[in-house]
Structure formats: C-alpha cells, structure tokens
Amino acid sequence: MFDINQETIKKLFDYSHGKLFWKIKPTYRVKKGQESGTISSDGYRHIGIFGKMYTTHRIIFLYHYGFLPDCVDHINGNKLDNRIENLRSVTTTQNQYNAKKRKDNISGVKGISWYKRYNKWRAQCKVEGKTISLGYYLDIREAEKVIKLFRENQHGEFHNHG
C-alpha cells in the first residue's frame, strides 16, 4: 500500500481556489488540467489516488500543511467549499459541534424536540459525548434561546445552530 504525502500530492495536483487540478493524465478518461474527483452521495468531492479514495478537503489540507489530521472540518459547513481558509484540523468532538441540524428535525431548531409526555419542547445538547438536558419549555422560542446560549458557551468557536 502506498502512503500519500505532501510531496506526492504536489506532483499530482495544482491547487486553485478550493479545487485540485490534475498535473498528470491519471486515466484515459481524465485529462491533464481537469478538476479532480467526483461528488459522491455523501455530498463530498472524492478523489481516487493509487487505488484508494480520499475526500478532496483532506487532500487539500495535506497539500498545504504537510500532514493529515484525524479530522478536517469545513468551517462554514459547506462540504464543497474546499478553500484552504475554510478548512481546519479538529477533533471528532469539535467536528460534531459544527454539524448542521439533522434532516429529520421537525422543530426547526437544532437540539429541540417535542416531548409528548409533558406536552412541552425539550432542549438537549451534547458536550464531550454526554447529552445534557436543558429543560422543558412551553414556548419553543424560549427553548431556542436557552440552547443557543448553552451551545455558544460550551462549544465555543465550533458552535453551529443549524
């Protein structure tokens, strides 16, 4: 198995404005100078290098900084915005803090759900892998204020309200 490194990546690609372009002709279908990779069903752009798939944002991070961290975060949450100024090395926990609201969320507010047993809105937020209950509220806007303040204080620069 071949390990990729910054030197190899710089031989294979040119970087410009969040995109990587082939310096070589890697396959008969791909042209030199063509943007690398394809967008997968997970919403990320992926690149095949020496028979292994990588997300483009990780390769761009390696291209600029010379190492691959465990986790690379898109600061603005846009999976296709791979400009180096939008990428940062984070822990898995910090990356989860920056996650968007789930698609199956019905309240419209990240971390708030309807609790039928009490007929109230329940506010919950995770910190260091533990779910913290922030209480039950009749007014969803009150629950939203509480959870946003909590998230900003606990998640710091990685907080994301949705």
CA dihedral 15, 21, 23, 27 (to 10 degrees): 150
What does the block give as tokens for 87? Answer: 């990428």
Looking at the structure, give the CATH architecture of the domain made up of residues 6-90: Alpha-Beta Complex (3.90)
Contacts of 36 (CB under 8 A, 6+ apart): 13, 19, 20, 21, 22, 30, 47, 56
Q: Got the DSSP string for 104-135?
A: T-SSSSTTEEEETTTTEEEEEEEETTEEEEEE
What is 99-158's CATH number? 3.30.730
- Distances in whole angstroms, Cα of residue 50 to Cα of each of 2, 25, 53, 64, 92: 7, 13, 8, 20, 27
pLDDT tens, the chain, 162 aa long: 467 999 999 999 999 999 999 999 988 899 999 999 999 999 999 999 999 999 999 999 999 999 999 999 999 999 999 999 999 999 999 999 988 888 889 999 999 999 999 999 999 999 988 999 999 999 999 999 999 999 999 999 999 888
Residue 123: φ, ψ to 5°: -110, 125
What is the chain's length?
A: 162
Q: What is the pLDDT of residue 27?
A: 87
Q: Pick the closest to residue 10 from 53, 55, 63 (CA basis).
A: 63
Residues forming a β-bridge with 53: 48
Model confidence, pTM:
0.84
> What's the pLDDT at 116?
95
Q: Do domains 6-90 and 99-158 have the same CATH topology?
A: no
Domain ranges of the chain: 6-90, 99-158
89 vs 29: CA distance, rounded Å: 33
